[in-house]
Amino acid sequence: MLRAWRSVVPRAGSPSSPRGDGGFTLAEVVVAFVLFMIIAATAGTALTSTLGTARSNEARVVAADLAARQIETLRGMKAENIADGDAARQNVVLDGRTYYLDQTVTLDALAGSGSACSGASGPAAFKRAHVEVTWERMNGVKPVVSDTLLALPVTGIGNGTGVLSVPVQGDDGSGIPGVTVALSNGSTAVTKSDGCAVFANQSPGTTYSATVATTGYVDQLGNASVTQTPVSVVEGEVTKLPAFIYNKASTISLTVPTPGAAYPLPTVPLSGFPALGVTLGNANFAGGVQDYPGCGTPPCAETGGGAFTVTGLFPATSGYQAWVGTCSTAKPAVPVLVGVNPGATTSEAVTPAGGIRVVVKQGGVHVAGYTVWAVNADCSTSEGFVLPGTSGAGDAEALTMALPAGTWTLYAGLDTDTPLATLPSVTVTEGAVTGDPAPLVVNVP
């Protein structure tokens, strides 16, 4: 029986053996499936992006139509009957999407040009209507904005009041939105997209001062709270204050290269001296410079992680020159220029510090155990630092430290209270070591 069963089973290699069914191996199936998934994912992403763009375009068209309708509604009304200020937000639902319509109406003088804060003060001649439409899931699309002017009758406002407009700008003249302006009578208004805050219905003959004090914002001198010179409001007129130059504060983080790891920046100031700091240069500062010693009393530079961090800076479009040290003589011939942006931190490496290498001798022989310190000859009350360690018994044990460029006086003693010897007029140069290969020598008696 067994022999009979075997006789019907073809032997391997015999003419009647199967030659394969023409199918795919498992590896081929896996590769094909992976390729299919990649193509499907790419096509799906492209389709999703296309649909998203189409939806955004559709929403923008609807928003533009809503803004145009609102402007036409305002044009059909008498200007004197339209309420000044911010109207209550309108929520409009169309095709399952919610649109938000915001309206601001401000009085302006005949000399106005584009904003209630621009141009000259003068009799109120028209109302400026600003309509802005936003919507759900904007995905980075800008709001739709529409503006119009509505002429007042020749009698002007006619309600016995006046208007005060207050601009808030960057140093490039651009309007800064979102800043709260407070009047001395307690009234407040927030600047719109044009950087303008408008106060309607103010009492004529009354003197008002305006203040800005928004958290995280500063003026060109780094002041967070700024008050304008008081002005009087005139009946029937729009009084325009000078602009506040005010913006989101910037931060600068500076690192200071040294001639090498053997030349660390000073970490121990002399008693009564501030820690090592940095200097920034900008035309807004008195004298064009502002020094920031290592933090103690602001303004100062926070130190840590090998960097000097200065906060609360105005984002000047011209940027800031920067260098290590707080003495004017440390300024390099070509300081590093640091660009800044509103509300952002900029990190930069300044021009390298120099280094010194010092030994202490007595009668021409190395002596150990002495402390050495350095005082800036041009800023003798504000820059003085103790070198790390004490003197050793040979050149190989020389004391080393990095210093800002300038002229320094070296002192040696058993402690910093009693100098026993000095070495004046030591010149420190950016990126170089003074005292290499032959070290500087302070000779003690």
Are both 403 and 271 inside the same structural domain?
no
Are both 215 and 85 inside the same structural domain?
yes
CB 330 within 8 Å of CB 282: no
The torsion defined by the Cα of 161, 163, 164 and 170, in degrees rounded to 10, comes to 170
Are both 134 and 207 inside the same structural domain?
yes
First vs last C-alpha separation in the chain? 121
Are both 150 and 213 inside the same structural domain?
yes
Q: Which of 334, 349, 364 is the last residue of a domain?
A: 349
Are both 263 and 166 inside the same structural domain?
no
Q: Which of 321, 349, 377 is the last residue of a domain?
A: 349
Are both 110 and 122 inside the same structural domain?
yes
Q: Could you read off the pLDDT tens digit of each residue along the chain, which spans 445 residues?
A: 334 434 444 444 444 444 445 566 877 777 777 777 787 667 666 555 554 555 678 899 999 999 999 999 999 999 888 988 889 999 999 989 999 999 988 888 765 566 788 888 888 888 889 999 999 988 888 899 998 988 888 666 767 888 899 999 999 999 999 999 999 999 999 998 889 999 988 999 889 999 999 999 999 999 999 999 999 999 888 899 999 999 999 999 999 999 999 999 999 999 999 999 999 999 999 999 999 999 978 889 999 878 999 999 999 999 999 999 999 889 999 999 999 999 999 999 999 999 999 999 999 999 999 999 999 999 999 999 999 999 999 999 999 999 999 999 999 999 999 999 999 999 999 999 999 999 999 999 9
Are both 242 and 258 inside the same structural domain?
no
CB 108 within 8 Å of CB 128: yes
Domain that holds residue 391: 354-443
Are both 381 and 309 inside the same structural domain?
no
**If you search the block for the tokens 């015999």, which residue do you land on?**
14
In a domain, 403, yes or no: yes
CB 123 within 8 Å of CB 110: yes
- Count of domains for the chain: 3
In a domain, 23, yes or no: no
Are both 278 and 208 inside the same structural domain?
no
Are both 237 and 254 inside the same structural domain?
no
CATH number at residue 156: 2.60.40.10
Q: Which of 246, 271, 305 is the last residue of a domain?
A: 246
Are both 264 and 285 inside the same structural domain?
yes
Six token digits for residue 246: 């005010």
Q: Nearest Cα to 207, choosing from 189, 184, 226, 191?
A: 184
CATH number at residue 416: 2.60.40.1120
Q: Hey, CA dihedral for 100, 101, 107, 113, is it positive or negative? A: positive
Are both 191 and 255 inside the same structural domain?
no
